[in-house]
Amino acid sequence: MNMSRVPAVLVLAAAALPAAAFAADAAPTLTIRAQAFQPGTITIPAGKRVKIVVDNRDALPAEFESSDFSVEQVIPGGTALPVYIPPLKPGSYSFFNDFHPSSTGTLVVRAR
């Protein structure tokens, strides 16, 4: 084996790691269908700002809201928008559709 090529191979392998890690951290999607969140529970890592995509499949607008982690975002009907969750401690947090308050869900935050 030609040892002069080993460092180049290691550099290439190391350069690929961030892309692989990014792919593994794809934004979770929360779908609103028939005024209900699907899935009803999503899990994210603790201590990290996380983007989730809220996809409103209904014709009516929805408002993704949480008093537990202070986020409000109106999602027009037929639209998918990003919602950014601030860094949170491990635990369970509730969210709801402020335009249809009986539509609720749970955000589970887990330590890595």
Residue pLDDT, tens place only, 53-89: 999 999 999 999 999 999 999 999 999 999 999 999 9
Range 3-32 average pLDDT: 57
pLDDT of residue 112: 79
Q: What's the pLDDT score for residue 14?
A: 45
Mean pLDDT, residues 87-102 taken together = 97
Q: What are the residue boundaries of the structural domains of the chain, listed by start?
A: 27-110
Asked whether the beta carbons of 30 and 55 are under 8 A apart, the reply is yes
Q: Is 67 left (phi over 0), alpha (psi -120 to 50) or beta?
A: alpha
Residue 99 tokens, joined: 């335009």
* Rounded percentage of the chain residues whose pLDDT exceeds 90: 75
Structure tokens at 36: 């209900």
Domain covering 27-110, topology = Immunoglobulin-like (2.60.40)
H-assigned helices in 3-103: 6-24
Residue 88: phi and psi, rounded to 5, are -125, 155
What are the two backbone dihedrals, phi and then psi, of residue 111, each rounded to the nearest 5 degrees? -70, 145
